[in-house]
Amino acid sequence: MSKELNKTYDPNDIEDRLYKKWEDNGYFHAEVDRSKKPFTIVMPPPNITGQLHMGHALDNTMQDILIRYKRMQGYNALWQPGTDHASIATEVKVIKALKDQGIDKNDLTREEFLEKCWEWRKEYGGRIIKQLKKMGSSADWERERFTMDEGCSKAVKHVFVKLFENGYIYKGSRIVNWCPVCKTSISDAEVEHEEQDGFFWHINYPVVGEEGRFVEIATTRPETLFGDTAVAVNPNDERYKDIIGKTLQLPCTDREIPVIADSYVDKEFGTGCVKITPAHDPNDFEVGKRHNLEEIVVINDDATMNAKAGKYAGMDRYECRKALVKDLEEMGLLVKVVPHSHNVGTHDRCGTTVEPMIKKQWFVKMDELIKPAVEGVKNGEIDLLPKRMDKTYFNWTDNIRDWCISRQLWWGHQIPAYYCEDCGEMVVSEEEVTVCPKCGKKHMVQDPDTLDTWFSSALWPFSTLGWPDNTEDLDYFYPNDVLVTGYDIIFFWVIRMIFSGYAQMKEAPFKTVLFHGLVRDSQGRKMSKSLGNGIDPLEVISKYGADALRLTLITGNAPGNDMRFYWERVEASRNFANKVWNASRFIMMNLDGFEITTPKKEDLRSADKWILSKFNTLAKDVTENLDKFELGIAVQKVHDFIWEEFCDWYIEIAKVRTYKKDEDKVSANAALWTLKKVLIDSLKLLHPYMPFITEEIFCTIQSEEETIMLSKWPEYNEEYNFPAEEEAIERCKDLVKGIRNVRTQMEVPPSRKAKIIVVSENEAVEKIFEDNKEVYVNLAFASEIVVQNNKEGVAEDAVSVVIPDATVYLPLEDLVDFEKEKERLNKEKEKLAKELKRSKGMLSNEKFVNNAKPEKVQEERDKLAKYEQMMAQVEERLSQMK
């Protein structure tokens, strides 16, 4: 052969070169082709602020496996890539970069700031795409989209206007998550809940008109007291029935608030009395609506107290807390302070504790929009895998709240609402409005807020295909076939895409959602900057190659389950790559200079038919597993087949015939043809998982096809179904394993050959061992093989190995050099005698037994028992020698 593999496998030598070849040849690109069936996956768009982490690596490896598999099956496979503008994350990064240059965001106009954002995106936005390419991701980069490109922006405006006109988008005052540092509302997705040590402050609220009577409440946020508009008790709580309807004096204020009854209150928790602060707590907000309570905002946007806080106005919220608690104590109204550990919401970008606050914002009304998304999963139009995710999904849809979509940021899609500065008229429009339709004046200003990032990514499955225009791509590639994503964003993204698909496209955006778990460290901890336990996928790739990382991430991976990352597993994956590489080199070396032809079926030996039959079953099983998205199970089967059946057994069996090319060309041809065929087909099954090494070997061992990527996926073929030969070779394997075990136990070196006598009274089994001597002669270290139906000629001291339907005998003198073995055993006996004397001496010493640590004494007893057992074995072997 003119081409050959390098002597050693070096991923750094092949990966970048092969990826460039794939891109240059346009193998990843998909165009509408009505003669083919489409298969579409849309990539969850990574943030342009993003740096590749293990979650990205797992997510994109899974997608790449599916897209490569379908591409090889002949589908017109489109993996649609793109990136997300990530409003808050990007704005935080740009503000920091400007600060480092001595520039304050507030010194810039909106246009100037946006210019800086676009510059940042140009410089850093493609970084994660380059990193995904290092992973081998075969996405259609020619179609790469961005959530703020012209097409996506058009889709966002279209949806906003359409939802507004249909009454699903409104502007109103509701509780939102407010970040006092970033000074914007944020989505639930951007709030991280962390366990923090805090306190319950128990405070007495005096009952008006009943001197000396109080209602005791417990709160973790005393500073919100100024926004209290009621105290609620459970209507069935006998302790407080008589005070329902009475009023309380709100401490440190001149206001009185009512006691109301509401079943929201858990009478078993705390004191059973709950302060209601509708403007600063989402649950209190709902209670307030039910009882028409006033909503009093007492905290400013920067987390300082406002004028409603009286003398505490202007203080930071925590300063106010400290001062207020002190004053309550002096007034005799502070009952007690109880340590309390509770979940506190913090902004995932800046770490600031989030303040629930009533704000006038834009919302999407969810109660009607969510219904088709619920039905779609219930009736099976959308499959969530694993199925247990249904419960999580419905838990969220059943408790849906209106979605706050406005953000007080500059980077993002600016809300397409315009206000007349003269008459106050509001116009929502896809096109810019410059003239007021009501008063005719030209003083129109656009709403300064931008849309939540999730608003644009909710449209991702169809906006990336040209919607709202009726494109051919949209008609052909939509809906997507599968979405692959982490279970941690089921609410924030998956559900929003689903309801948006039904609302805008009148059908589900995808047929299947495949959820994967998190990649945790070796101790099972979530990888994080604070713990310093994150592992950079690029570091793994530079050490072991992308294929080894991909195989590690998928091996043992079950849908929805978290996995642990161990460096040892990456080494094992690299070792497997080495095994494949070296086996391929061996096969190619034997093919060199030998013109192989397709053998006649009768020229195939039992071992050839066995491996062809085993592979045939493997191809069927792996295809079924992949169709069921059992990616981890599928690759384990491929790995085990290549390593064990093909490399450890078939190649070793076939060596006998490849070494005798000149003596029996027909047999050698059958073996070499089988070696090449099974290797190439195994590489195809492995390709979706390990694309680089499989491409390099495939393109080196054959010249008919330019890439493995577009080669035909192996299919089950009844012609290669050989159950009889499978049974025969499995029996030979049992024989070899039995003999190897005995030789290991007896410490017989591989160089020492032995006569093998196979005895079976079953005529069919006897024939199998007679006809397949070439299969096991070398593997069993046989000097001679005799197959018979009785024990005639078998020495009494022969070592026996029992296997199904047969017994194998090995003459003892063939296994052991008696004089050398006796010498070795006598030396072992002397050594053990010394150890036994020492150990017995220690244990007969009362001082040692009474004064040493119990575990030390037990350790010595265990040693004595072990030495006695070893001595008995040595003496038994010596007696056999006589």
Give the count of beta carbons closer than 10 Å to the beta carbon of residue 680: 20
The answer to whether 132 touches 64, Cβ cutoff 8 Å, is no
Cβ(508)–Cβ(376) below 8 Å: yes
In terms of phi and psi (left: phi > 0; alpha: psi -120 to 50; beta: otherwise), the region of 26 is: left
From residue 514, give the alpha-carbon distance in Å to each of 112, 351, 507, 616.
42, 31, 19, 28
* CB-CB neighbours of 396 under 10 Å: 15
Cis amide bond preceding 251, omega within 30: no
C-alpha to C-alpha distance for 234 and 98, rounded to whole angstroms? 53
* CA nearest to 146, candidates 169, 168, 121: 121
Distance CA 694, CA 549 (A): 15
Handedness of CA 178, 182, 187, 188 (dihedral sign): negative
Torsion of Cα atoms, 363 then 366 then 370 then 372, to 10°: -100
Q: How far apart are CA 521 and CA 537, in angstroms?
A: 13
Give the DSSP per-residue string, 554-584.
HTT--TT--EE--HHHHHHHHHHHHHHHHHH
Neighbours of 647 (CB within 10 A): 20
CB within 8 Å of 686: residues ≥ 6 apart: 580, 635, 638, 642, 694
H/E element holding 72?
helix 54-72
Residue 747 buriedness (CB in 10 A; 0-12 / 13-18 / 19+): exposed
Cα 172 to Cα 169: distance, rounded to the nearest angstrom: 10
* Residue 55 near residue 519 (C-beta atoms within 8 A): yes
Q: Provide φ and ψ at 224, rounded to 5°.
A: -80, -5
Residue 871 one-letter amino acid: M
> Does the bond joining 339 to the residue before it have cis omega, within 30 degrees of 0?
no
Q: Are 614 and 726 in contact (CB under 8 A)?
A: yes
Max distance between CA atoms of the chain, in angstroms, equals: 120
CA pair distance 130, 127, nearest whole angstrom: 5
Cβ(759)–Cβ(792) below 8 Å = no
202 touches 335 (CB < 8 A): yes
Give CA–CA dist 590/604, Å, rounded: 18
CB half-sphere exposure, 229, CA atoms < 13 A:
21
**Would you state the structure tokens that stand for residue 553, as one six-digit string?**
């991430």
Cis peptide before 386 (omega within 30 of 0): yes
User: Two tokens at 29?
Assistant: 């690109």
Q: What is the residue-wise DSSP string for 433-449? A: P-S-TTT--S-EEE---
According to the annotation, is 529 in a ligand binding site? yes
Single-letter residue type at 77 = A
CA dihedral over 335, 336, 342, 345, signed as positive or negative:
positive
Cα–Cα dist 399/389, whole Å: 16
Question: Of how many residues is the chain composed?
Answer: 882
Cβ contact 566:523 at 8 Å: no
Contact 348, 488 (CB under 8 A): no
Annotated binding site for ATP: 529
Annotated binding site: 529
